[in-house]
Amino acid sequence: MKKRKAFALLTAAAMMGTVFTGCGRPGNSNNGNTGNNGDGTEPVKIIIGHTDSSQRSTHKWSVWLGEWLEEQKPGHFVVEVHSDGSLGDSPDMVAGVKLGTLTMEFDLASVVATVAGDDASCVDLPYLYPTYEDWVEGTFENGGLELFNEAIEDAGYYCLGMYYNGMRQVISRGKNYHNAADLKGQKIRIAQNELNVEMWKNMGGNPSPMAWGEVISSLSTGAIDALDHSLGVFNDFNLHEIAPHVTLTNHASSPFPVICSLDWLNSLSEEDQALVKEGVRLMCEQQREEERANEMKYIERFKAEGATVEELSAEEVAAFTEAVQPVYDLWRTKVGDETIDAWLATVPKH
């Protein structure tokens, strides 16, 4: 596995040779101080890149980090936040973190896993955490964050915290889905990765990987029946207007890890490391609370505007959880029993 990781890193680095030329241009700067700290040293510059909208909570709280660091140590940090993929696509930015062309990046764990290896994708295992509360406890109290860091360490990355991207749900043109029979023959648009494909096959659907740019037109024309994503995405793109059936499946937690390079983190003084870690912890905690509250508003909006929103029963969740066990068996062959068992041990016991 380490050989595969090394090869992936070398390949990403080669591809990145020209992508980030000049990417240090001014962006959404949170601190106008670009001089020195008064003692002859330059401020610590932190460039954060992401593909989310500048209107989303993830961007808002990333900007907040710069404000908080300025309060803690005036003039010592300069934070820039670049939204909407302005520094490149997700794989470009993950590679850029390792190359040092940007400092932090957040996106789906599956993007990091393309470089770090299959161990990093375990956080997205289906029904690992069947509720938001389970995800929070499993990740931040029971060791999930530490396991994710173990998975990406060999690739040279460190996860400072995790944003809440939203539990993954399903929005459909024609009906709600409560079991495999409902999903039979249904084309579900998914992000292209093996874990997603296998999950939806076992849940009974017809997984259809598709570039995001094709999704809205495909839903509108019926080329696909449904979409697997978060409530925030359904809301931001008004998808309930063309696909008025929302099923709260909670089939994956799908967080946004906030990553930096180990080399960069270790280059900081102990004091600066502690400040950055604490700042990102607070940043992510507040974002998670806001995004979760937003989800409740999205559900009320969908209902008010005529969409049918249905939640799975405990029995239906149990049936889907049983159906996706072959995915766990497959991942055991990839990452080993010890790794899978360690992740399962983080699941809250109720």
Q: Are 165 and 303 in contact (CB under 8 A)?
A: no
pLDDT of 21: 34
Strand residues in 7-103 grouped as ranges (E): 28-29, 44-49, 77-82
For 121, which DSSP code?
G
Q: 7 pLDDT exceeds 50?
A: no
End-to-end CA distance of the chain: 35
Cβ burial, residue 184 (10 Å; 0-12/13-18/19+): exposed
Percent of the chain with pLDDT over 90: 83
Q: Which whole number is the average pLDDT over 29-43?
A: 52
Assign 323 to helix, strand or coil.
helix
pLDDT of 192: 81
Q: 38 pLDDT exceeds 90?
A: no
Long-range (24+ apart) CB contacts under 8 A made by 343-346 are 343/122, 343/123, 343/125, 343/128, 343/144, 343/147, 344/128, 345/142, 345/143, 346/138, 346/139, 346/142, 346/143, 346/144, 346/147
pLDDT tens track for 75-117? 999 999 999 999 998 899 999 999 999 999 999 998 999 999 9
pLDDT of 191: 84
Assign 202 to helix, strand or coil.
helix
85 vs 9 pLDDT, higher one: 85
CA distance 306 to 345: 41
Q: Are 145 and 256 in contact (CB under 8 A)?
A: no
317 vs 8 pLDDT, higher one: 317
Q: Are 49 and 258 in contact (CB under 8 A)?
A: no
Query: 11-25, 204-218, 298-312: which range is least confident on average?
Result: 11-25
Q: 14 pLDDT exceeds 60?
A: no
Confidence category of residue 350, pLDDT binned at 50, 70, 90: confident
Query: 8-22, 65-79, 134-148, 211-225: which range is least confident on average?
Result: 8-22
* Neighbour count for residue 31 (Cβ, 10 Å): 19
Bridge-partner residues for 342, per DSSP? Answer: none
Amino acid at 230: S
Q: Which whole number is the average pLDDT over 224-253?
A: 96
Helix axes 90-99 and 109-116, enclosed angle (nearest 10): 50
Q: 294 pLDDT exceeds 70?
A: yes
Q: 180 pLDDT exceeds 80?
A: yes
Query: 16-20, 48-52, 145-149, 248-252: which range is least confident on average?
Result: 16-20
Q: Which H or E run contains 334? A: helix 325-335
Residue count of the chain: 350
Phi-psi region of 75 (alpha: psi -120 to 50; beta: other; left: phi over 0): left
pLDDT of 8: 43
CA distance 142 to 3: 30
Residue 112, token pair as written in the block: 């990091």
pLDDT tens track for 247-275? 999 999 989 999 999 999 999 999 999 99
pLDDT of 65: 98
pLDDT of 11: 42
Q: 18 pLDDT exceeds 60?
A: no
Q: Which whole number is the average pLDDT over 117-135?
A: 96
Q: 20 pLDDT exceeds 90?
A: no
Confidence category of residue 219, pLDDT binned at 50, 70, 90: very high
